[in-house]
Amino acid sequence: MINILLEVNKKGVLIFRANIDKIHKENLIIKRCLFESKIIKSNRKYPYNIPMKFLLPIINNFHKKYIYFDENSISEFLEFSDEYDDKYYYSYKANASYMKKWREEFCPKIYKVIIDKNKISINKNIIFERFI
């Protein structure tokens, strides 16, 4: 079972926390996620802080019965990437610092990612695009 919690810390940064069973740790995708993650030993319920870029591959490559979203998990957030899709930026809401980074990256499309916790699916919609 893969238990997922998406939350916002005090600084407003989106955090992807997970608890992964020993059975699933042998999967190559999970191994890569755990390689780049941080382990928090004090948090026994969700010990792994995984980078947000791995959320979509985990949901798309695992059967829905193995994934569980926490009740307190955030169900929607914003994302955009740089020109070459090398660096991704995530936020719970569009604040001044998020929009400053958006302008520094030459104003790419901003997507609103909506997670359906019951169906374990993700929808991405363009919510903001610069018109020239």
pLDDT tens digits along 6-17? 999 888 889 999
- The pLDDT confidence band at residue 83, using thresholds 50, 70 and 90, is confident
Distances (CA, A) of 22 to 16, 25, 99, 109, 112: 19, 5, 40, 38, 33
The structure's pTM equals: 0.87
Taking alpha carbons only, the member of 113, 130, 111, 120 closest to residue 58 is 120
Tokens at 4, concatenated:
């997922």
The pLDDT of residue 52 is: 93
